[in-house]
A = this chain, B = another copy of it.
Amino acid sequence: MSSEKKKILLSQGSGGKQSHDLIQDLFFNYFNNEILNEAGDSAIFKINSEYSAFTTDSYVVEPLFFPGGDIGKLAVFGTVNDLSVSGAIPRYLSVGFIIEEGLDFNILENVVISMAAAAKMANLRIVTGDTKVVNRGKCDKLFINTSGIGELQPKFTNISSGENIRAGDKILVNGFVGDHGMAVMSARNELKVRAEVKSDCAPLNGLIQQILNVSEDVKFMRDATRGGLATVLAEIAQTKNTGIDLFETKIPVRESVRGICEIFGFDPLYVANEGKLIIIVSGKDTEKVLETMRKNEFGKETQIIGEVVNNHPGKVILHTSIGGKHIVDILSGDQLPRIC
């Protein structure tokens, strides 16, 4: 690999193709081990002879506060969701703060209050932490890392990898996509149109536990954050070399989000979410899971948006509202930096 003049690009943190390549070239290459290589939202391993899930995320969202959330809430729920989609019950969180010298104490305090409330809501504890302060101008106000540990029942250890995905499985999403990205963007000066859209930032552990209580036939779950719904599905189709049919008219997108996306040239399927669960479940359990999800406050607008097919292996085909067919690929380039 000729790397002499290469520079790190914003797109390498986008969650899309360039992120994927960087992770492969560097982290999987050098840190190479069978747990890491599973590449799920959480690492799955045995500790003290029982299965655990372990995950980490740094949050650099700009601005720190936006409609529907803030960096603290995001940091707690983001890690809760990464553990939950692996089938685990989130138990303990660590938090690392990197603070710019001169930040208002009030801002930090409000973020901490928000994190405490989020941890309570998600029913887990923040048990350890670290604080670094860097000189003025050496970071942008506040970055937060959260890492989390969850307990995982052995019967759910293959959800993360999606190894049991088969043709006939259905794909569901628990509501409107694109809200988070458009809420953060509307909170930035960049967007002159002030949209009435709030981030969907939410903890998915309660919803997911309810699903796992009614079905042992959940094949795969992922929260559709950076890269959006499209990237999650394109990745799983490629990784498992399976086909996916996706039905545009079934995918919930708010009118307001659709409007902003049209103006600014975004595709809502690629816009980040912070409370959206993509779930693949066997055909026979689909109705049961759908019913359970719709009863949960974070699943009221759940829709069956697609299915796993034997045709076009490795590809996601979007059937559009006007009868067209498009290949849906992984996000390429950088859509919205510092969205989480």
Instruction: Judge whether B7 and A105 touch: CB under 8 Å.
Output: yes
Distance in Å: Cβ of A21 to nearest Cβ of chain B? 11
Contacts of A4 in B (CB 8 A): 106
Q: Is A321 an interface residue (CB 8 A)?
A: no
- Chain A 164-181, CB-CB to B under 8 Å as 1, else 0, gives 000000000000000000
Q: A58-B132, A96-B145 are in contact. List 12 more A-B contacts (CB 8 A).
A: A4-B106, A7-B102, A10-B133, A13-B132, A13-B133, A43-B128, A48-B49, A50-B50, A59-B132, A94-B147, A134-B338, A139-B139
- Does A298 count as interface, using CB distance less than 8 angstroms? no
> Whole-angstrom distance between the alpha carbons of A149 and B45 in the complex?
11
Binary interface encoding of chain A residues 119-163 relative to chain B, with 1 for a CB under 8 A from any of its CBs, else 0: 100000111111111110111100101010101000000000000
Contact A128 B56 (CB under 8 A): yes
Task: For chain A, residues 51 to 95, give those with C-beta under 8 angstroms from any C-beta of chain B.
Answer: 51-52, 54-60, 62, 91-92, 94-95
Chain B residues with CB under 8 Å of A9's CB are 101, 133
- Which of the segments A108-116, A228-236, A282-290 contacts the partner chain? A108-116
CB distance from A314 to the nearest CB of B (A): 25
A1-57: which residues lie under 8 A (CB-CB) from chain B? 3-4, 6-14, 19, 22-23, 26-27, 30-31, 33, 35-36, 42-43, 45, 47-52, 54-57
**Which residue numbers of A lie inside 8 Å of B, CB to CB?**
3-4, 6-14, 19, 22-23, 26-27, 30-31, 33, 35-36, 42-43, 45, 47-52, 54-60, 62, 91-92, 94-106, 108-109, 112-113, 115-116, 119, 125-135, 137-140, 143, 145, 147, 149, 151, 337-338
Cross-chain contact A31 with B112 (CB below 8 angstroms): yes
Candidate in A23, A49, A52 with the most chain B CB atoms within 10 angstroms: A52
Give Cα A22 to B132, complex, Å.
11
Q: Which residue of B lies closest to A79 (CB)?
A: B130
Query: Considering residues A7, A112, A127, which has the most beta carbons from chain B within 10 angstroms of its beta carbon?
Result: A127
Chain B residues, CB < 8 A from A128 = 35-36, 42-43, 54-56
* List of B residues within 8 angstroms of A149 by Cβ: 47, 52, 54, 149
Interface centre among A35, A49, A132 (most CB of B within 10 A): A132
